[in-house]
Each structure stands twice: as C-alpha cells, then as structure tokens.
Structure 1
Amino acid sequence: MSKVYLWLEGVDFAEFIDDTNQIAVIRGASLALLAAGEEAEGWLKRNQPALAPEKIFSGASLSLFRLACDESGGEVVAAALRRHLADRGLNVLDVKQPVTPFAYLRFVTGVATDDGTPAAIRRAHARARHAQAHGVYHPPARLETHETNRFMCAMSRSRQADCYMRLTEDQVETYGANVGRRIERDADAFRLPVSRSVAARRYYGRKAREEFFARRKGTIGFDAARFGFVNDLHEMVDLAPLADDLSSDREEMTFALREAGQTAEQAWREAPRETVRNKIAVFHVDGNDFTAIRDAMGGSAAALREFDEQVTALLERKVLAGFMRRLQAHADAPDVWTQIPRLRALHGSVYRRPDTEPDDPDPRARRLRFELLLYGGDEMAFILPAWLGLEFAGLFFDAVADAHILWNGKRYDLRFKMGLAFVNYKMPIREARNLAYGLCDIAKTKDRNTIAIQAFESIEPPANGLGDVRSGLFGDEPVSPKQTVAHAVMDADRLAETVAGLMAFKRAGAARSQLYGMLRAAQWTPVRGRAGTRHVSGKLGAPGVNAKAAGYFKDYATRMLAQARPEPALAALFARLQVKETAAMEAWLATHLYDYVDPLGYLEFDVASGASA
C-alpha cells in the first residue's frame, strides 16, 4: 500500500502572536502552536486508525506525519484535520477548564506521496506553503454580532471586540496603563472589551505555562508544588524600595555578616543600578544552519525524527533544566540570605512576588522571574530581568557547548546564534522581540556559538530600525576580516571572557568613565574645511578610530597593570583593548555592558551552596 507524508504548519504569526503586547496572550498562542502536533497526532490515531498514522517529528509550529493511503485519501484526511483544529477551542470562554485555542490560530497542510526519497518531504512542505499563499486553510469562523462590536479590541488593535474580559480590582491599574480608557465598571467588577481570539489565547496562556513545565518535570525539573511564575513584566522587574534602606546600613550589615561567618565582600549585595532596575533581557535563539544539517543527514524521515528528538532532549534536559536549577536555587536562598534579616529582605525583593513577605508560609509565594515566549524546533524566545541577562546567556552556551548528533557514523555539531536585547519593560513587547530577533539574525556565523547584544535606553524602539542603529555605531560594513566578529557578534567563549574581564575591572576599582572618555576622544576626528577645522564623531568600525583607541588604551593599561598584580581576566581584557583593528569596538562593548555584568553580585556567589565562588 502506498504511503503519504502529511505536513502541518501554523502560519501567519503576525495575526495571532504579533497582534498584541500582552504577554499572556502571546504565551497562549505560542504554547498552542507547540501543542498542535500532539493534538493532530491524537486526532489521527482516534479517527484514522486504519491509516496507521505515524508522527515523524513535531516542532514549535510544524509537524510531519506519515499515513498509509494515496494522495487523494491524504488530502481528505488533511482537510478533516484542518476542520477539527478550526473548531477546537472556538467557545473557550463557555467552559470552565482551559481549552487550547486552535480555532484562533491558522494552519495549512501539504500532502505528498512517500517515494522513499527526502524529496517527498520537501514536496509536502512546499505544498503547505503553496496552500498558505493561496489561502487554502480554515480561518476562525465569523462570530455573531455582539454589543461590544462598537469597540476595537483593547488588547489587539487589529480586531473588533466581541466579548468582555472580566478584571479583578488588582488588574485594573496594570491594564488601564496598557490598553487606554476602555475599562468599564460592571456592578462590583470591571470589564474590558476584547476580541474572543485575544480572550481565548489569554485564558489559555495564563493556565498553560505551569502545565508546560509540570508535564516536563522529569526532564526540566520544575517543582510546581513549591514555585510559580510572575504574571507580567511589571512584576518581573518590580523590586521593593530597598536601595536607600540597604545602602544606609552597610556598617550594621557588615558586622552581622561577620557574626555569621561571612565577609562583606562575600555576601553584601547592593540594589541594582537604575540602568538595570526597570529593564528586561529579551532573548531570541535560533539554530545555526540546522536545515543544512538535516539535509546532510540525508533528509529522510528517520533522520528528521532523530534530529528532532536530539534537539528536543538538548533544549529540555540541558538548557531549560539548567535554567530551572539556577532560578530555583536563587529562589530557595542559601543560609547566609535567610540568617540575616536585611539580606533576606533583599533576596525577597529580587526573587519573590512584590506583594509577599520573605517569610510567607505559602510555598508558591516564590515566583520565578522567567517568561518563555517561544519554544520548540530550532528556536527559543524568553525573557528574564536584565540583571540576570548575561548570567543566563552564559548558562545557555555552557549547556550547548558540545552539542552534537551522531548519525550513520558521522558527527554533526549543533551551533546556535543568540540575540539579546536589554530594553525597558514598558517597551511594546512585539518591538522588543523584533530587536532580539534582529540581533539574532546579525549573529549568524557558521561553526560557532555566537551572540549579539545591545541595550536600548528609550521606551520607544529605534525609529528607523535596528540596522540604522548598528550602522550609525559601526559604519555600514566591517572594513577588515578581523573586524567581522567584533563588528557584529561575539563567540560564546569571548562572552565569558568579557564578563570575567569586566568583573575584574570592577574589582580593581577602575572607572568605566575612563574607558568611555578615551573612546570618545578616539572617535573625534578633525576635518578641515573652508571655515576652518571642525571635529566629527567617527564610526567605531573606522580604521583610524580603532588605531587611535588602541594607543590610548595601551597607555592606560600600562598604568593600571603596574599598580598591582593584575587578575588574568583583567590582563586579557586590556590585551583586547590594544588590538588596533578592533580596540574601539571592544571598548564600546565594555562600556555598553558594564552595568549588566553582575549588578547584584551573584556571579561571585554560589547561590546553590551559599559559598563564595
């Protein structure tokens, strides 16, 4: 009997992921896409058992199955599957338990005969994309006219409202700031006019995150009985107003620390700097040339299944498991935190919900400040507080350092690119995600794990896009092969070296302002004209700027390193600042990341054991 491949893919993300800035709505759509493969597999096995349905792989937004039938039969099954998904979750607001809102997503399918070659899978994929281009899918059904149709959806400006979402009194202030003047008073409650699409995705998103982690407890290690997650970005960055209180009592705390057997250098933690305090770290991670690796493995169904299983195991057992261990270790607090009241208060402000006390008996008062926006297949997108950004970038690259797949006696190394954008938490989240995505695209380099990082000070995204910002800093193109990496990205190893060097720089008592002053001096270039000589700011990629910066930093390094026996990491940092092709860009990176390197002191402190690292 002939067999066919059935390709299922979620499409048109701009209409149901990027149409809102509400985290729970984005999360609901993303996790629903991830669940579509499992839903399709279950439906095929229940309704088409005679076709012996076999799942080949399932990723973040796409799945591949094999059925025992011909192409015409496969097309019938594909149409029925699309109808099932278009009906699933349509009336999610009328049920008590969260239902995956597939009806408010959009799926296409492609069917191709399995001829025993990898080309058959590519044909199925191509036919799915052809269907998308020609609108061959089942969009959500048009709902009946509702009294709220006179409003636009308060959470998605591209949709009409056709229902109300009820709000608690605690939510009114947060949503009022985000959605304008659409909140209405209804008896003792508040309500907000929204579209059913947004309401369904939000309802699911608020319930599905912890279920996602709880179902993977054996691989990720999330302890759902003891921990929860923050619910929004305001809560993610919200810290108790402890900065003045703590900084005024350093002498008292130093004495208490000594009584507890700890030195002030080991355990004193100041409140984060203002430049970090209200910011989030937005990550986008993508596999480097994974399509080429799948093709090199042969592109067969067996190869694709093996690739999917190995990448999923890597992301769950190493990456997410490592994240959970670190987040939960932070939240549990080592003894030194719990023994000293003021340190316990600071710890509580950083890792607990702002509205709970450090000694709250409710174990779920521990809220992990982590948001997973996209997961599965080749990609991940997630958010952390800015003060944890570089730490978790390092954790990710440690987890994937030696990632590879063995297939038919050959090794295929897995490499990842990462974009990390530090932004104010009030920046529209879709714009923040776009910045992280753009940085990730810049970081694409073969054969290495790479990262591109940039901090943005304004709440508003760059008016002319990321490319205009980067060219304004560095110039349009790297001017030499040595500048290619420094101009755009860092290797994962160099990220660790940069963090270590900046920590040593801080410990040595050196001032960032000195580096910045020398960098600015190197950028000022005299230009002669009819009106006389004027100075303009040169691009960081200009050869003259880098050569001049290298000279300044050489003199500075000589003075700094002569004062005391330098740490190796500091010596390495100064060595990079003296390379004439890249010195200015290295200095920009150092001054740019200074506030984000260990702002709470955790990288020098083993939070799992309570000992100095």
Structure 2
Amino acid sequence: MNFSAVLSDTEDLSTIRGSGLAMLHAVEYAAKALKELTRGAVEQVTTGASVGVFRVSAADQADAWTVARNLRARLTAHAPAAANDEESEPARPLPGAIDEAELLRVLDHLSILTAACAATADFRADMETLLALIRWQQQQAPSLVLPAAGTSWDKTKLICPNDHTRLADTYIFRRKDEGPGRYPASRSVRDRHAYGRHYKQTLYDRVIDGIPYLKDDGSKRRKRAYADELADPARQPDKALDGKMAALYADELADLARRLGAPLDGKMAVLYADGNRFSEQIRDLVKASDTPIETQKAIDKALQGWRSKLLEKVVKLIELDDRDYPLTRIETLLWGGDELIWVLPAWRGWEVAALFAEHIRNEPVEGKGRSMDVPEKDGWSMNMSHGLGMVFCHYDAPINGIRTLAKNLADKVAKAERTSTRLAVMVLESFDAVGQDLEAHLTRTYGTAGITPSAMCLTAPQGASWNDVPCAVAKMKEHLPRRRLHALADALLRHGPVTTETDRARGRFWRDLDAPAEAAIREAAETLGRCWGFDAQGTDARLWLHLDMLWDYLAPDVQDMAEV
C-alpha cells in the first residue's frame, strides 16, 4: 500500500525499479511463506502487480487471522543489513534465484498489509471484504514506513539527497564509469537502489521465459544477461551463459537514449497504458460464473500470457538497435494489474505504440468452454482496448513528473471513451511549460483551434494500422518543407481553423508545389487521417497539429525537404 512513498519519492531510476520489482517478488515469496506457516496446501487465486489472494485451510476465523498476521510479520521482518554495507557496494548475486535476505531488506521499507476472511459461496463479496479490511488498516497506518524501534538517530548525518525525507545513514557507491567514490543515502533508498540494479533481469526472465523468481537454478535462463555499467565487459563471453554473447540492459536513461550522431540522440519516450474497464469486466465475468475461483484463475492465466507475448514482441523490436550499440534499451517502471509504464528510446516510441495496438487487435483474450479451464459452455472474452499516454522528452527530464504526465494523458483518453484503443501524445521541450494543470494547458494550447482537450487523441480504427504512419510521414518529408507545416499549425493555434489568416497559411502551404508533390502529400494526409481516426480527406486540423508535433519522431531518419 501507499505506493507513492516508495515509487515516487525519488528520481533515481534504480531505486524506483527496485521498489516495483520487490512488489512483484513479494507475492511469490508470500505464497512460499504461507506454505511454511500453514504446513498445508496453498491455492493461489489471483495476483497482480502488488497484490496476492490465496486460499488456505484454517480451523476458524481467529486461526485465519493468526496466519495473516504471521505472514505480515514474515514479510516485514527487519532483515539484518548486509555485512560491511557501508564499506563496499553489495556484490551482485550470481544468476539464479533471488537472495531472500536482500528481498526482505527491501520489503522492510514497504507498506505491506494482510487480511483474512472465511470463504463463502460469493467469491466477489469475499474479495470486497478483503479489500475493505485492507483499506481500514491503511487508514490507521502511516504513509511512510518508520524506522524500527530502538533505531539510533545520528543528528550529524545529512538528510538523504534522494528522497529528501529519511536520514542519510548509509551510502550508495558510484558506478565504475562514474569514477570512484560514494554518496550518502537513506537505508531505504540504498536497499531499493541495490535491488533495482541486481534484479532488473528477473522481470524479463519471468515474463518472457516463465522462470519463477524464487526457483531459478540458471538452467533455463534466456541467453542474455544484464549489466548496469558500460565499464563491464559488454561483449565478452559469460561462463554462466555457456559462452554465449550476453545482451545487456541499459541501466541509466542516458544510455537508453544514446544514439550518437543520429537523430533523436538523448531523447526518450515514456508510454503509460491502462486497460479499459478491466476490473469491471473481470468482476462481471466472475460474478456470472458458477465456478468463480476457477474463472478468476483462467482469466489471470490468459492475461499473463497476453502480457508476456506483448513484452517479448517489444523486447525483440528494441533489440534491433543492439547491432549498433550493445544495450537493450527498455525500462519497465510498472508491470502487472491493468497498467504498465515503459521508458523507451524516442525513435522506437511510435513503433512500440503501433505494436501495442496491433497486439490488442490480433491477440484476443477469451475462454471457450473447458479449453480455458472455464466450465461455462458459452465461454467468455474481454475487450482488451487500452488508454495510452505517451510523452517524448529529453532523458534528463524529471522521471516522476514525466510518468505522471503520461498517466494523466491516458486518463484523459479513458474518460472520453473506454471501448477502443486511443493514444494521447505530447512532446516536451520544457517540462515546466505544462504546469500542474494538464486540462488548463491543453485548453490554452488548442482552445483557439476549437479543439477540446479530450479530442486531441489518436484512435486505432478498424481497417487501418498505426504501422502505416511512418511510411506516410516519410513520403511527406520527401516533398514538404517543415517550415510550411509549422506555419500552418501555428496559424491554426493562433487564429483558429476558419479565419482569413489561416486561409492564407493554407495557401502558402500548397504554393508552388508541382502536381506529383501535391498528390503525394494529399495521399499521405489521407493515410494519416485513416490511421488516426480523423476524416478520410486529411483536412482535420488535428491531423496537421499532430503531424507538426510529431514530425521529428515519425520516420526520424528521413530528412525533410529544405525550403527553396
């Protein structure tokens, strides 16, 4: 609970990642701990990014609550600090299962709550009861995990420069390529930072290859490894990988966005995705089922398989850049439930959004009779459409602010329409330009053009593909000077679509273009109109405004025509 205290309290990427990974790993660790506490069968009913629901045998309600309290004590036990942890950087664990002591050190800083109730015939009511019990505990608990009783406070220590809240009572050691030395940090930041650096690989092993977090003996590991330092032997054979070349995951956003001597060097894309009414759909399907727990399990299994295929496709796309630079550049800041957040190189941002939309279209999530372990004869299916928010920016923009902005964009899309996949996108040259009120910013920007904030989004319509967008833009760049496009967009924003000034800008836009160039531009505009859900004639003002905004990010390696 209280995610903001550990996911949004710092701009350090490894620390944010460590918090998210620990939440994922905690659910699997909880199942293991429950088996040891009850010495009986433990049935995993449903799990998400940070939640686990299990069915266990108990003598009565009091016994069940004893198990729940013991589980929480097990998960939040104050694990001892690593030996000599202020003298050297903790050693990276060998490929294999997670070090449970290291996991417990991170869980010590998270707000973990447990509850129990008797199982009844109404599974959904049981779930609501558990949620209410958790919420009640949350209201009685501090939002920040406090130090253990008896912790001594050295008033000579500084406040942690990362979270600006806790005491800086330990250190984080610099990467090799950053030079020798260390800098002060709170124990919470330090433990989460180390965990994020050590176990980044586990998400991709688990999701793509199905390797359990706590049972990996190294025998099934994918032929890839993770290194967080460019100083590591990036392309040297690794004994743990049978001499295969190891692919590396970028640890810093500067490495993720690096594209030396090429367009969009130093730029990144942050993509937030939120499933449309997933919780409501699952609730209704389970409620209508004669065997609700089995239905819940089948839905979980289907969704996990759907997400695994999606992540594998995205990683394969990102790996295309590996030939030029030995890093697989993707950062997963949130995974599980019905939400995800990816940080991507800017030149792959649109391609990943298009891949996402195609995956939704081509990979249905459904159960048909007993083939999906669901006994209903008619089976079930889910609408897998998502609301997407994407922000293009420089890699040194504040990651928490950019993440929040991407989420707010997706929320705007979802409020307007929740049955189809839609994308709201923004390009930031200055983060401060947006301010605290996204609605007000969008109204100021597009109000004169007669466009409401909710209308500035792109739809993935049937019969058209976002994969066609880069080709259409590349064709435009061959014939259209950027300056003309920008002048038209500026006129639309300043004067509106039906004014003398905008008509003049339209005239200058088409002036002196020969017939083949004009035909090519009009054909490309019609393609964009179909792909983005605008009018088929390419005359919608939103088309030209999006094209002007995304010009550098669509077909980035195609140089646009210079004005003569």
TM-score normalised by the shorter chain: which range applies?
Answer: 0.7 to 0.9
Residue by residue over 1:507-564, the C-alpha shift from the partner in whole angstroms, topping out at 9 and shown as x without a partner, is: 3x21222122123234444xxxxxxxxxxxx5xxxx746x986896599569758325
Aligned counterparts of 2:14 and 2:422: Cα–Cα separation in 1: 30
Say if 1:238 and 1:54 are closer, same or farther in 2 by CA, change over 3 A. Answer: same
Deviation at 1:195, TM superposition (A): 0.6
Tell me, yes or no, if structure 1 residue 572 matches structure 2 residue 527: yes
Matched position secondary structure for 1:113: coil
Report the equivalent of 2:109: 104
Aligned counterparts of 2:403 and 2:143: Cα–Cα separation in 1: 27
Say if 1:102 and 1:281 are closer, same or farther in 2 by CA, change over 3 A. Answer: same
Residue by residue over 1:256-299, the C-alpha shift from the partner in whole angstroms, topping out at 9 and shown as x without a partner, is: xxxxxxxxxxxxxxx20xxx322210111111100111122124
Report the equivalent of 2:398: 428
Aligned counterparts of 1:441 and 1:222: Cα–Cα separation in 2: 38
Tell me, yes or no, if structure 1 residue 388 matches structure 2 residue 348: yes
Superposition map of 1:14-413 within 5 A: 14-50=4-40, 52-69=41-58, 70-87=60-77, 89=79, 91-92=81-82, 97=93, 99-100=102-103, 101-117=106-122, 118-135=124-141, 139=145, 141-142=147-148, 144-145=151-152, 147=154, 150-168=157-175, 170-171=177-178, 190-216=181-207, 218=209, 223-224=224-225, 225=241, 226-240=246-260, 243=261, 271-272=262-263, 276-299=264-287, 300-316=292-308, 318-331=309-322, 333=323, 347=324, 352=325, 366-402=326-362, 403-406=364-367, 408=376, 409=378, 410-413=380-383
Aligned counterparts of 1:293 and 1:476: Cα–Cα separation in 2: 39
Aligned counterparts of 1:58 and 1:574: Cα–Cα separation in 2: 40
Aligned counterparts of 1:71 and 1:378: Cα–Cα separation in 2: 32
Residue by residue over 1:562-599, the C-alpha shift from the partner in whole angstroms, topping out at 9 and shown as x without a partner, is: 32563854443478887899722221101000000121
Tell me how large the CA RMSD over aligned residues is.
3.3
Deviation at 1:218, TM superposition (A): 2.9
Say if 1:421 and 1:222 are closer, same or farther in 2 by CA, change over 3 A. Answer: farther
Deviation at 1:501, TM superposition (A): 2.5
Contact residue 165 and residue 194 of structure 1 kept, 8 A: yes
Mind listing any 5+ residue stretches in structure 1 that lack a counterpart?
A: 1-10, 173-188, 244-270, 334-346, 353-365, 526-537, 603-613
Contact residue 169 and residue 184 of structure 2 kept, 8 A: yes
Contact residue 107 and residue 138 of structure 1 kept, 8 A: no
Deviation at 1:503, TM superposition (A): 2.2
Amino acid of the residue matched to residue 223 of structure 1?
Answer: R
Taking structure 2 as the reference length, the TM-score comes to: 0.78
Contact residue 287 and residue 379 of structure 1 kept, 8 A: yes
Deviation at 1:60, TM superposition (A): 0.6
Residue by residue over 1:336-368, the C-alpha shift from the partner in whole angstroms, topping out at 9 and shown as x without a partner, is: xxxxxxxxxxx3xxxx2xxxxxxxxxxxxx211
Contact residue 551 and residue 578 of structure 1 kept, 8 A: no
Deviation at 1:498, TM superposition (A): 4.0
Where is the strand percentage greater, Structure 1 or Structure 2? 1
Residue by residue over 1:443-501, the C-alpha shift from the partner in whole angstroms, topping out at 9 and shown as x without a partner, is: 2132211111101101546323322221212239987xxx7864334336564454443
Deviation at 1:33, TM superposition (A): 0.6
Mind listing any 5+ residue stretches in structure 2 that lack a counterpart?
A: 94-98, 212-221, 226-240, 369-375, 560-564
Deviation at 1:233, TM superposition (A): 0.9
Residue by residue over 1:46-79, the C-alpha shift from the partner in whole angstroms, topping out at 9 and shown as x without a partner, is: 22123x3211111111111112223322211111
Matched position secondary structure for 2:456: helix
Taking structure 1 as the reference length, the TM-score comes to: 0.73
Aligned counterparts of 1:121 and 1:577: Cα–Cα separation in 2: 42
Say if 1:518 and 1:308 are closer, same or farther in 2 by CA, change over 3 A. Answer: same
Contact residue 253 and residue 395 of structure 2 kept, 8 A: yes
Aligned counterparts of 2:143 and 2:481: Cα–Cα separation in 1: 59
Report the equivalent of 2:238: none
Aligned counterparts of 1:87 and 1:326: Cα–Cα separation in 2: 41
| Identity score, percent | 23
Report the equivalent of 2:557: 600
Report the equivalent of 1:490: 459
Contact residue 149 and residue 161 of structure 1 kept, 8 A: no
Deviation at 1:600, TM superposition (A): 3.1
Contact residue 25 and residue 198 of structure 1 kept, 8 A: yes
Aligned counterparts of 1:455 and 1:524: Cα–Cα separation in 2: 19
Report the equivalent of 1:529: none
Deviation at 1:198, TM superposition (A): 0.4
Q: Which range moved further: 200-209 or 570-579? A: 570-579
**Alignment size in residue pairs:** 490
